[in-house]
Amino acid sequence: MVDGEVVMDDERSDGEASGGDLGVAVAQFAPVADVAANLDTIEGLARTAVARGARLVVLPEYSMFFTAELGQEMADASEPIDGAFAGALGALAGDLGVHLVAGMLEQASDPERFSNTLVAFDDDGRLVATYRKQHLYDAFGQRESDRVVAGAVDATEIFTVDGVPVGMQTCYDLRFPEVTRTIVDAGAELVLVPAEWVRGPLKEHHWRTLATARAIENTVYLAAADQTPPVAVGNSFVIDPMGTELAGLGEQAGVAVAWVSRERVAAVRRVNPALALRRYAVVPRSAATE
């Protein structure tokens, strides 16, 4: 079983939730080029999270299969949305009675490309939401678009865990505030961000700053699960609607659990009604202007 350091919210240092709160776990590890090995790691992390009270476990981008260079090996490993990896993840969610979210390689019509897709399974093992990464990492010397098909700007899929509405986005999408705002406009009060946030100068600073800003400006919880080094920065965390980090990890594989509540979201929004006061809407760019 994989485990690591855990930093709990001071108000719940005993690991117990107050009545009605939702236990959310961020679980981080470094996926390898072996689907079965990654599933074993995912199971260990998920079991640890459930033992600590989590009802929702968030795993990194590319949890299914990963190589440092996005090449043909990843395209060859891609599967349909109802393939073996997703089936195993759903079975695990049902067995543990927990909601699971993870990144997978979804087959595309072009055999040299794939979709960078998040899948969410409920505690009965049913697929309840998907998200295909919209903004590809063509930055800091990388070219994700050489292999990955960008997700369409479709209607946002929201799913509910114990009454809390939840939305998803992926890694580089965090640099585009319109993505999170669109998810929140669809009703989400908790935003999940599976990631493979590549290491580099000031990258950890960007990771923390952007994630915190998205939580504050939208007055929502944000749970970000990154891959660990050597490629990514680790530092997964759960942030509350006022920008406070409730739980987090360092550079090692492991699980951190925090408790979120709709009452906290409502209370923050009474004090900081930024969503109600804003004067601009988010409108997708048309194909003609892209």
| Residues annotated as catalytic (active site), given as ranges | 61, 133, 171
Phi, psi torsion values for 228, nearest 5 degrees? -95, 165
Closest by Cα among 224, 229, 260 to 242: 260
CA separation for the pair 98, 78 (Å, rounded): 25
Residue 65 buriedness (CB in 10 A; 0-12 / 13-18 / 19+): buried
CA separation for the pair 152, 136 (Å, rounded): 12
Q: Is 200 left (phi over 0), alpha (psi -120 to 50) or beta?
A: left
Residue 156 contacts by C-beta under 8 Å, 6 or more apart in sequence?
167, 182, 183, 185, 186, 188
Tallying the residues shown for the chain, one arrives at 290
Phi, psi torsion values for 12, nearest 5 degrees? -135, 45
Q: Which residues of 213-235 are buried (b: 16+ CB within 10 A; e: fewer)?
A: bbbbbbbbbbbbbbbbeebbbbb
CB-CB contact of 29 with 231 (8 Å): no
CB-CB contact of 250 with 204 (8 Å): no
Closest by Cα among 254, 251, 256, 193 to 221: 193
β-bridge partners, 224: 193, 237
